[in-house]
């Protein structure tokens, strides 16, 4: 959330709290009650979207790296075992199919890396019955497949998280616009009726409607330019 949005959010909350505290003054006016309910709903949604926007994807990224490291290690072990077997039986075609270096794997893009590891698995599967003397079993091959599947499962999560946060950022812009318009077009106008009958309430509202930023008070909200961020 931007500093400007945070300042406005504080103002929206101050207005909501003031209206709630003086509910007895305006509760008999249906239009005011409806406007207050709408403001409350908008602020609740702002809270929700703000939490989504602030979501930390570090944990997802770290888990993805862990899954990648484990998959690469298992794939390289399987590939070198197949290469050892291929060298023994002088099968250069088989050897070439699994001739990947650690840098080949680590420098590959995510989906390409997954495909390479799957290829190593599939080649090893074709000769797994011959790899027992080389230290690899069908269980090792199953473990490699599990690690490939786990990596594939988590592959899109960081991207999905970023997309979700971007959507929340966009929705916040819309919600702030809704709140601005609700205050300017409805509540501000309805409050004019209380200027003479409830001057203290009106003055408190007038103060609440001012945006506090860096220890200074801005002009009234309706005199601010529209938000565009």
pLDDT under 70 in the chain at which residues? 56-58, 212-229
The verdict on residue 219 lying in a domain is: yes
The pLDDT of residue 51: 83
Both 85 and 151 in one domain: the answer is yes
Residue where a domain stops, chosen among 114, 138, 155: 155
User: Is residue 35 located within the same domain as residue 87?
Assistant: no
Residue 176 lies in a domain: yes
CA separation for the pair 188, 169 (Å, rounded): 27
- Within-domain flag for 228: no
Residue 59 in any domain: the answer is no
* Same-domain status, 104 and 182: no
> Residue 78 falls within a domain, yes or no?
yes
**Within a domain: residue 145?**
yes
Q: What is the pLDDT of residue 33?
A: 95
Predicted confidence (pLDDT) per residue in 197-207, tens digit: 999 999 999 99
| Residue among 153, 152, 79 at smallest CA distance from 120 | 79
Classify residue 36: in a domain, yes or no: yes
Domain end position, chosen among 138, 155, 172? 155
Same domain, 148 and 182: no
Residues 99 and 171 placed together within one structural domain of the fold:
no
Domain that holds residue 124: 64-155
Query: What is the rounded CA–CA span in Å between residue 122 and residue 116?
Result: 10
- Domain tally, the chain: 2
pLDDT per residue as tens digits for the range 43-66: 999 998 888 887 766 677 788 899
Residue with tokens 């709630």: 20
End of a domain among 127, 155, 183? 155
Q: In this structure, are 200 and 211 located in the same domain?
A: yes
Output the pTM of the full model.
Answer: 0.58
pLDDT the model gives residue 213: 58
What pLDDT was estimated at residue 52?
A: 82
**pLDDT confidence of residue 57:** 64
Whether residue 32 is contained in a domain is answered as yes
């Amino acid at each position: 959330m931007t500093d400007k949005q945070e300042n406005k959010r504080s103002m929206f909350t101050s207005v909501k709290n003031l209206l709630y505290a003086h509910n007895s003054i305006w509760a008999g006016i249906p239009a005011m009650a409806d406007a207050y309910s709408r403001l409350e709903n908008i602020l609740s949604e702002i809270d929700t979207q703000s939490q989504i926007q602030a979501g930390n994807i570090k944990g997802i990224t770290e888990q993805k790296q862990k899954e990648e490291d484990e998959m690469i290690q298992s794939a390289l072990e399987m590939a070198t075992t197949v290469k050892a077997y291929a060298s023994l039986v002088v099968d250069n075609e088989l050897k070439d199919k699994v001739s990947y270096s650690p840098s080949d794997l680590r420098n590959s893009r995510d989906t390409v890396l997954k495909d390479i590891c799957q290829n190593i698995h599939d080649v090893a599967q074709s000769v797994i019955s011959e790899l027992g003397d080389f230290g690899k079993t069908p269980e090792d091959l199953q473990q490699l497949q599990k690690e490939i599947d786990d990596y594939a499962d988590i592959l899109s999560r960081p991207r999905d998280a970023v997309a979700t946060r971007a959507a929340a950022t966009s929705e916040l812009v819309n919600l702030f616009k809704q709140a601005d318009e609700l205050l300017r077009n409805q509540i501000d106008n309805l409050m004019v009726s209380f200027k003479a009958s409830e001057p203290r309430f009106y003055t408190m509202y007038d103060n609440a409607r001012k945006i506090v930023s860096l220890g200074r008070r801005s002009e009234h909200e309706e005199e601010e330019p529209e938000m565009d961020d």
